[in-house]
Structure 1
């Protein structure tokens, strides 16, 4: 999939970082002090902690620094330009991901990357196309599943709620999108921003993704 097509799927998903007074992203040195990279947080409060850390370490830089929201498609453009960065996932979603994996027999104590959630029981359709919504929040997916089943139960009252959820990493999905072609099925992925109603966001995205 071409970079511009991948970028369209990321548009509208916010992350947070720290910029200086010139609105340039503040780069952080790694633990060895050899490499500078941008840090992007999925929670505003984590960006606040990052800003406090910068102000503590470099008061001169910190005085003009501020938190800014950036759409994921803009961050993806940094990758295509060769700029190094790292995502800081929501710790609660990491906890959910580890718990979900433990239920499937994977007792790992660490999660590599940003967790994302999906369910085979939640499929969105438009103009004879089938779309797979991928969520950054397990709670958002659970709400969407419950809403979908309530609609189905109006047609079939005997239908049982099924909240089967699969866990993956955003980085892995992104890699699969980049290496996919039109017939692979990965072109049907729609990312749902945290806190966003899935159906509302989907209706806005279909024209851009299609």
Structure 2
């Protein structure tokens, strides 16, 4: 059996590759194609597919199964410490004025939801990325502000290289889901279940 596994780069690095390396029984049964993408659009018709990411609202997923791995807590962080050194907690209107890296969509506007203000856009977005780890490394390179989760920035926070921008209103969490083809194959379903369990166990500590 040939299987496609699609996910953003940070999910590939932290969940997919480590979980596959722990499974020794499936290698002789399945050929796995790893595809780095934050969108299910890379799915090939007729090919059993596992997608790990934030895509539960995509219309192409109507005939697929979904299991939530976790809700990723998001925050705004910055390598430009001087810009926020004396900042009190920002309200939503103040956040809208920040030049920020887009991590959730590809339209050049950072759609980032807050509990009280949905569909918030950032017209001053400085670049567009599709993964939390890319946001981190691009922000490190350009010394700018980005959205990420604590697990990915923890070391930079501890060394004082990065700061968390204080917010009055917490951001909505990003749902990280396992979305997969409904298959009669016991091996395929076992693979999907193993990735789901690995992701849950890892991220309960990691995030």
TM-score of Structure 1 vs Structure 2, range by shorter chain: under 0.3
TM-score (norm 1): 0.28
TM-score w.r.t. structure 2 length? Answer: 0.28
Bigger helix share: 1
Report 1 or 2 for greater relative contact order, CA contacts < 8 Å, sequence distance ≥ 6. Answer: 2
